[in-house]
Chain A
Amino acid sequence: MNPLAVIGRLFLSFLVAIGDLTLFAGRAIVQGVSGPYYPRAILRQMIDIGYYSLPVVGLTAIFTGMVLALQSHTGFSRFEAQSAVATIVVLSMTRELGPVLAGLMVAGRVGASMAAEIGTMRVTEQIDALTTLSTDPFKYLVWPRLIAGLLMLPLLVIVADIIGVFGGYIVGTYKLGFGPHEYINNTFEFLETQDVVSGLVKAAVFGFLVALMGCYQGYHSEGGAQGVGAATTKAVVSASILILTANYVVTELFFSR
């Protein structure tokens, strides 16, 4: 087999997949915006993505904040810069780790569940049933999940930021010898609005991507239980890769001079 042909075929498949995903997202947005709306479906998704993800995101954030404090203290003590620990923790959490880790956790929890639910609906003809009931699946299934992902991940990230900083505070004050006031002052001294806003914008983008990949993979699943399983795996993997890619793009947009 000609290796160039294989590479070419893979590249063409990649382009087809990108085009298909773009058309899917476009259709979801156009159909969703044009109504009718399903507020109960949106609310249900907001609770599922926001409320039920709080424990996993909170746990991830607190241990990340604690580890950050420990690691940065170990590193900075080599050149007598321990006072930067609080600043490092808050900037890392708000700019990067809060949104990225929350995004990855939600991709694992919610993206997988969306793909499994919609995939099961696909293979059990529930999506066809929606159509026969004069209901557009994009309006009823996809749009509420996209909106909920877009809105709820920033709220989760706000919580993650606060809990992460609190984790750093606990390690800083109880283990590393910082005074409570000193640590809190250091936390806010160099924090700028843009640091928080960039993290929230990232979170909104990640939330949209997680929901999009969950819906897209679930909607196109076929072949019964095995197909739904494959869709779930693809949803998590593709959402995680897109989160890391989008993270660089948004960071570049916000902070490159």
Chain B
Amino acid sequence: MSERPIKIRIRDLHKSFGAKQVLDGIDLDVAEGESVVVIGGSGTGKSVLLKCVLGLIEPDRGSILVNGQEVVGLGRRAREQVMQKFGMLFQNAALFDSLPVWENVAFGLLNVKRIGRSEAKERAIETLGQVGLGADVADLWPAELSGGMRKRVGLARAIATQPEILFFDEPTTGLDPIMADVINDLIARSVRQLGATAISITHDMASARKIADRIAMLYQGRIIWQGPVAHIDHSGNPYVEQFIHGRGEGPIKLDVRAA
């Protein structure tokens, strides 16, 4: 762990849906300016973990501190204040279909920071440039974009308000390897330029290696290993070994039934 102050501290986080215990006592610290990637198989609770931090899902118990402030159980107004520190890239970008690209990017500037439309559009075009998209994209509609362009617009929207904390939910899912690499580079550069703290969740190891300072592995609702990205290949943890090499045989048993 670095000597930098802790930006996000998660302790004993539990969440279940019915009988299924999804998070079973998560402890995780993320230092200021650090990029942590949470890896794990599908259905291990990675998205639930992010959504708990964002307040989209209320945990059953546990504590989440952001800048030392407890965010579990926050009221709506206080939550809106805290959310101004965050930017989020969703798995499928989650662009607003009813708004053109530039209004998607400038959404936070227009509706939260309440700056004028012409200035917001200028800043949106500038931000689109940072993710490698030209001004001609600004007036398109989300439905007119390819998968890679949607991710870039989603990234532009996430960084447009220059947040302190960035979350990335499966940023390369559904992209070809080249576009995935482009998105990984953009994420790494955006985080570095903003000096932001980042948590990404993915099962794409190429992505994890590229954007992480530190990797944590989630399995059966718990963090079973965490360490610097350089140590991932020598973790000594059989679960991590099996996961990063994508082996069917090993301690991780998938619930696969014969057809």
Knowing A38-B111, A140-B111, the reply to whether A132 touches B98 (Cβ < 8 A) is no
Are B92 and A125 closer than 8 Å at their CB atoms? yes
The residue in chain A whose Cβ has the minimal distance to the Cβ of B87 is A132
From A125, A129, A135, B111 is in contact (CB under 8 Å) with A135
From A117, A125, A136, B98 is in contact (CB under 8 Å) with A117
Are B84 and A134 closer than 8 Å at their CB atoms? yes
From B84, B91, B114, A125 is in contact (CB under 8 Å) with B91
Q: Residues of A contacting B112 with CB < 8 Å?
A: 133-135
B-contact bits for A111-141, CB 8 A (1 contact / 0 none): 0000001001100111011111111100010
Are B97 and A128 closer than 8 Å at their CB atoms? no
B-contact bits for A126-170, CB 8 A (1 contact / 0 none): 101111111110001000000000000000000000000000000
From A31, A36, A125, A140, B90 is in contact (CB under 8 Å) with A125
Knowing A133-B112, A135-B111, A140-B111, the reply to whether A128 touches B51 (Cβ < 8 A) is yes
Knowing A38-B111, A126-B96, A140-B111, the reply to whether A132 touches B86 (Cβ < 8 A) is yes
B54 interfacial contact with A, CB 8 Å = yes
Give, as a whole number of angstroms, the nearest-CB distance from B182 to chain A.
Answer: 22
Q: Residues of B contacting A135 with CB < 8 Å?
A: 80, 107, 111-112
A145 to B80, CA, bound (A): 22
Q: Which residues of B come within 8 Å of A, CB atoms?
A: 51, 54-56, 76, 80-81, 83-84, 86-88, 90-92, 94-98, 107-108, 111-112, 114, 157, 167
Q: Which residues of A come within 8 Å of B, CB atoms?
A: 31, 36, 38, 44, 117, 120-121, 124-126, 128-136, 140
9 smallest beta-carbon distances between A and B, as pairs = A129-B94, A125-B94, A132-B88, A134-B83, A134-B80, A134-B112, A125-B90, A133-B108, A126-B94
